[in-house]
């Protein structure tokens, strides 16, 4: 099988799951991963026969894609905010909305009254570590603490930290039953916020392959994490401290209401798709 034949075969086999452009993207990234040819060399050597071993690997990838397994899990990595992160079944695949959250946070931090080289940052629900590691890259002097309940997720986060040679203090704890020991200048979180009643609306490719613990609220109260963050913000967020939250788009006003009384500024912010997606606060 040649490179061009494989691309045509993948497109045919996955036609019910992916558009032609999506199939072209998938074939390109997997050929680069297995064969080592970038898009230019794939075009130049499109009639080159694949090695038998490489062909077997690529055909197996098609089989995995047919099960709705996310391509990032098959690759074992994904690109996020210009950085490569390892991902697997134990962590959420980073979403574009979280990139928006970080872009907004970095800009606000730079324009704040906080002393940049003395920042103390708390990240709640770290998953693969994307939020603290992006922040550590942009604020290398910051002291960053990240909490997650999943030991497997923390293993992935630590692997990503080691890969990028960035230092973050990872804590294994159930945040909902965890008492903070010190104050912070910034609290940032993308906690589980999908209500149990919304489970039927979630695609199988998400429910079937990404950790439920990171997706769904552990109780019927979809705002349980936000209530705890609000209480902790009263006690442990410093004056002029900043709050950045990614939220359930269906519960924007309800989430914002938790923070209005204890912040000098509390805003509900839309994402690029015009959905209520973030809460921003200044203590």
Instruction: Give the 3-state secondary structure of 90-114.
Output: CCCCCCHHHHHHHHHHHHHHHCCCC
Contacts of residue 55, defined as CB under 8 A and 6 or more positions apart, other chains included, come to 1, 6
Q: Specify the DSSP element, H or E, that contains 232.
A: helix 224-236
pLDDT tens series, the chain, 283 aa: 899 999 999 999 999 888 999 999 999 999 999 999 988 999 998 898 999 999 999 999 999 999 888 899 999 999 999 999 999 988 988 989 999 999 999 999 999 888 888 999 999 999 999 999 999 999 999 999 999 988 999 999 999 999 999 999 999 999 989 999 899 999 999 987 665 555 555 555 554 555 555 555 556 678 989 999 999 999 999 999 999 999 988 889 999 999 998 899 999 999 999 999 999 999 9
**Beta strand 120-124 pairing with 237-246:** unpaired
In the block, tokens 């909305």 appear at 97
Which candidate, 256, 254, 246, places its Cα nearest to that of 214?
A: 246
Q: Quick check: 133 and 161 in contact, CB under 8 A?
A: yes
Half-sphere exposure of 35 (CA within 13 A, CB side): 25
Which candidate, 174, 188, 175, places its Cα nearest to that of 144?
A: 188
């Amino acid at each position: 099988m040649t490179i061009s034949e494989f691309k045509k075969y993948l497109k045919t086999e996955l036609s019910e799951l992916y558009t032609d452009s999506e199939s072209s993207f998938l074939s390109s990234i997997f050929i680069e991963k297995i064969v080592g040819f970038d898009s230019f060399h794939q075009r130049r050597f499109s009639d080159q026969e694949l090695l038998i071993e490489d062909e077997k690997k690529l055909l197996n990838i098609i089989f995995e894609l047919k099960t709705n397994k996310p391509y990032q899990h098959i690759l074992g990595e994904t690109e996020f905010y210009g950085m490569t992160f390892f991902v697997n079944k134990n962590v959420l695949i980073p979403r574009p909305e979280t990139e928006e959250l970080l872009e907004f946070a970095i800009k606000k931090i730079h324009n704040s009254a906080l002393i940049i080289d003395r920042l103390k940052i708390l990240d709640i629900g770290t998953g693969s570590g994307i939020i603290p590691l992006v922040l550590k890259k942009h604020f290398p002097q910051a002291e960053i603490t990240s909490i997650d309940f999943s030991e497997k997720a923390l293993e992935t986060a630590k692997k990503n930290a080691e890969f990028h040679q960035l230092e973050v203090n990872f804590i294994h704890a159930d945040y909902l039953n965890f008492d903070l020991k010190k104050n912070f200048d910034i609290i940032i979180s993308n906690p589980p916020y999908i209500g149990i009643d919304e489970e039927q609306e979630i695609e199988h490719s998400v429910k079937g392959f990404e950790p439920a613990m990171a997706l769904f609220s552990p109780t019927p109260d979809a705002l349980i994490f936000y209530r705890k963050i609000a209480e902790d913000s009263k006690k442990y967020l410093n004056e002029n401290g900043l709050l950045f939250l990614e939220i359930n788009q269906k519960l924007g006003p309800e989430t914002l209401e938790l923070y209005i009384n204890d912040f000098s500024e509390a805003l509900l912010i839309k994402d690029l798709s015009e959905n209520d997606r973030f809460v921003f606060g200044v203590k």
